[in-house]
Structure 1
Amino acid sequence: MTAIRREWPGAVELDVVVTSDEPAVRCRALAYPPLVGRPEPGDEVLLNTTALAMGLGTGGYAMVVAVPNRLPEDPDGPGHLVKARYTPLQATVLGADEQDSDFHEALREADSLDGMPVVVADLHSALAPILCGLYADRPGVRVAYVMLDGGALPAWFSMSAARLRELDWLAGVVTVGQAFGGDVEAVTTHTGLLAARHVLDADVAVVAQGPGNLGTGTRWGFSGVSAGEAVNAAAVLQGRPVAALRVSEGDARERHVGVSHHSLTAYGRVALSPAQVPVPELPGEFGERVRDQAELLAVRHELVSVPVEGLHEALRACPVRLSTMGRGLEEDLAYFLASAAAGRHAAGLLK
């Protein structure tokens, strides 16, 4: 490696030279020091360049697999949860729900979210705009982010989550399933939600996968299917599920224009428990299209019309960069307004 570009909790971004290529190629790389050790300029690093070879938009980094001459310290606990299991970089963490945790007793018999609003979204990029809508109407509430394992597994990958945590826009990040690196670790979405409520004392939880949504252009083959499963988890635990719609006016793919087929499948087919679905009051023919498509969800869910006045300004004031699929706020305003509308609705559910 030649230089450190920047760093944030759990991650270091590097400049590297890939010497295995002819000619050598300079590129960005990302290292997670808790897993691989902290690289320094001049170190030789072992890289995985799959993301570069595939031209991935999210996570277009070479990933540091090891720093052979600067190994991390041997893990000495506490904790017995192994995540990213049976991979070379499997991590042992202390789960809030395991027996050695200080929170085990609080979670051992926990069975209710006590009516806590749980905003569920398909994409990680919805997290910040949901918070914008929530805080625009209810500043000062405690919000926990429950990160599912459908995208990036390390929470450290998310610069936005790290910054939101630093600004106290998040009371904490809970990583569930195979995801790890949060302020709190949990085994399942269910215990992750319970930890958000009973460990982080959250007033609201936002549930979404980490960065790096996977989709195949098929009805069922996308990682956001887990959004429907999260609705079920929130409902069975006596939370108040709020299903944030994925809406786009800027996506070139017809299946995502208006209300994305991801939302229609996850909420219309996978979510068996009823949720409230905030439908943003968008203007014109596009707004009518969104409302008409959302009606497909009315068989099981309660549609709630949410005004968007003032949300554009709240989004402009967001303390982290807003981007979805490479599109910024003004390039796909409808996406961010729909997410912020879900946050606004959750704010209205608080007593």
Structure 2
Amino acid sequence: MLTLKRAKIIEIRSERPGYIEVLVDVDGNRHKAICYSALVGDVRQGDDVIVNTTAVDLDLGTGGYHFILCNLSKDSVTSAGDGHIMKLRYTPLQIKCLAAEEENSPYHKTLKDVTSIESMPVIVGTLHSQLPAAAVMVKELLPTAKIAYIMTDGAALPLAFSRLVAELKSAGSIDVTITAGHAFGGDMEAINIFSALAAAKYAAQADVAIVSMGPGIVGSNTRLGFTGMEQGQVINAVNGLKGVPVAIPRISFADKRERHVGISHHTITALTIAAVSRSILTIPEMDRGKANTVNDQIVKERLDQTHTVVQISAGAVISVLKSKNILPTTMGRTLDQDPEFFMAAGAAGIYAANVLLGGK
């Protein structure tokens, strides 16, 4: 069940394309709320709105935000565009999109018969916070490389929710965004991960793609119940399209949860169960104790037999991110608090750049 309440907007806090953050009065109490203009249209101070309070009521990890469902101060909202592909299908908020592959798209003829992405390197992550290190390191080694970020529908669905993507695009660290499945709001829309990869290669003319979900991975403390399982499925898609999948391992020595220490069980499960084809698994060089822990896991889980494990010198990743003032966090931890996490993502970017440069 969802919880809906009437509210009044008392302050506009910030805006970026597709995203408006406001302060609302709900039953005499002030709360943060988010409006996606693609779904609701614009809102202004004084508007009466309906907000979805479900996640905050359950104390879930949404940052304490309500979400505006509709604006009672407007008689109607009309979505612009010529698309005929529906996302959020058969829900009250279904939205029409112009998918890159549909007949009305200028890319339809280009994508119509595509079955290969011709050895394009594709970096495959699980957490949204892996995106910046991977992208920045590709650009650090190959500034002319064109990077497409493909956001899946494994977590947040509106791309506009990601402040990180806005910052990376502004900095030139990613060049084009593609939202796949029910995710929406990218520079290009795609129906599924296969067509998103094709769009990255031939419509966006990207040199490398980075695939990961948006903010807010879903987990359950079970072996299979987490949306990061999609990493294995994306690897299969990349191989099916004759690309080069480069898997980012989720590595941490700062996480207090045993299942995420060293190589996270998320990576192990995705690569041993969901992935039924090989990937390049890039492991950053670390100090001896941490490296031994990771290597023991690789051997125990036979990752070196089912995937190609490559050690990468990634010690510069943290300093490069800092030099560009790109300061991501993961689960609230900074670059200095969880360096191996970001080094692992950067290592995948280094490998992909070297593929483009003709080496490995």
TM-score exceeds 0.5: yes
Does structure 1 residue 335 correspond to structure 2 residue 312? no
The one of 83, 99, 106 equivalent to 1:102 is 106
Partner of 1:13: 21
- Correspondence list, 1:310-325, <5 A: 310-325=316-331
Question: How many equivalent residue pairs?
Answer: 347
Does structure 1 residue 54 correspond to structure 2 residue 62? no
Partner of 1:39: 43
Does structure 1 residue 266 correspond to structure 2 residue 270? yes
1:189 is matched by which residue type in structure 2?
I
Partner of 1:3: 11
Change in CA separation of 1:33 and 1:346 when aligned onto 2, cut-off 3 Å: same
The one of 349, 354, 357 equivalent to 1:348 is 354
Matched residue SS, 2:305: coil
Does structure 1 residue 89 correspond to structure 2 residue 93? yes
Partner of 1:279: 283
Mean Cα deviation higher: 38-47 or 289-298: 289-298
1:197 is matched by which residue type in structure 2?
K
Shift of residue 235, structure 1, vs aligned partner: 0.7
Q: Is the 8 A contact 1:12 1:33 kept in 2?
A: yes
The one of 134, 137, 142 equivalent to 2:141 is 137
2:164 is matched by which residue type in structure 1?
S
Which sections of structure 1, spanning at least 5 residues, go unmatched? Answer: none
The one of 214, 220, 231 equivalent to 1:216 is 220
Post-superposition, which runs of at least 4 consecutive aligned residues in structure 1 deviate over 4 A? none
1:215-256 per-position Cα deviation (integer Å, ceiling 9, x unaligned): 001111000111100000011111100000001111111000
2:12 is matched by which residue type in structure 1?
I
Normalising by structure 1, we get a TM-score of 0.95
1:329 is matched by which residue type in structure 2?
L
Q: Is the 8 A contact 1:48 1:63 kept in 2?
A: yes
Q: Is the 8 A contact 2:129 2:328 kept in 1?
A: yes
Shift of residue 76, structure 1, vs aligned partner: 5.2
Change in CA separation of 1:285 and 1:72 when aligned onto 2, cut-off 3 Å: farther
RMSD (CA atoms): 1.4
Which sections of structure 2, spanning at least 5 residues, go unmatched? Answer: 1-8
Instruction: Measure, in 1, the Cα distance between the counterparts of 2:75 and 2:344.
Output: 45
Shift of residue 166, structure 1, vs aligned partner: 2.5
Instruction: Measure, in 1, the Cα distance between the counterparts of 2:230 and 2:265.
Output: 14
Instruction: Measure, in 2, the Cα distance between the counterparts of 1:115 and 1:226.
Output: 21
Shift of residue 309, structure 1, vs aligned partner: 2.6
